[in-house]
Structure 1
Amino acid sequence: MKYFLILLFIIAVFIISMIFGSSNNQIITFNFLIAKGDYPISTLLAILFTIGFILGCLICGIFYIKTLIVLSHAKRKIKRLENKLAELG
């Protein structure tokens, strides 16, 4: 439920940014590292928001997977120690 609410919030922010961006159709020049392009603000806002969202999800996913791996190793070690304790007792 928590993740659904977070996703709903992200979608709402994206929709609000699209509404604000669509009301302003001014063309701006965006300088890339190696290129330059002229884009409407709404398009540039949507592209950059989407790229940021995807990068954020990838970074959080990497840390989540790392945490799951550490947790599984810890559970395995606890199980091994419990078995040793049961053998001794």
Structure 2
Amino acid sequence: MKRIVALLVLVLVFVAALALGSQNGQLVQFNYLVAQGEFSLAALLGLFFAVGFVVGWAVFALLLLRLKLQNRALNRSVRRQSRELDTLRSGTSGE
């Protein structure tokens, strides 16, 4: 349910940005590393919004992957220690 609400909010923000951007046809000069160009302000804002969204998801995915790998390693360690503990318990209870 939280995902649906979050997705709905994201879509609403995107639609509002498109609506406001379509009303703004102003051209702006954009200087980047090797050249410069004249772009529509709405297109430039949309581009930076999309790039920021993709970069944010990429960072999130990398952090999530790192946590999942760490979780897997810790679960392996817990299973190994549980087996050792069971072995020690069964060895001492038989005496």
Q: TM-score, normalised by structure 1?
A: 0.91
Identity %: 28
* Stretches of structure 1 lacking an aligned partner (at least 5 in a row): none
Name segments (4+ residues, structure 1) moved above 4 Å. none
User: Hey, what does 1:77 align to over in structure 2?
Assistant: 77
- The one-character-per-residue Cα deviations of 1:38-89 (angstroms, maximum 9, x if unpaired) are 1111111111100000000000000000000000000010000000000011
Q: CA deviation at 1:4?
A: 3.2
Q: TM-score, normalised by structure 2?
A: 0.86
Q: Give the number of the structure whose alpha-carbon radius of gyration is greater.
A: 2
Query: Whose relative contact order is higher, 1 or 2, with alpha carbons under 8 Å and at least 6 apart?
Result: 1
Q: Is the 8 A contact 1:22 1:42 kept in 2?
A: yes
Distance 2:63 2:26 in 1: 39
Q: CA RMSD in A?
A: 1.2
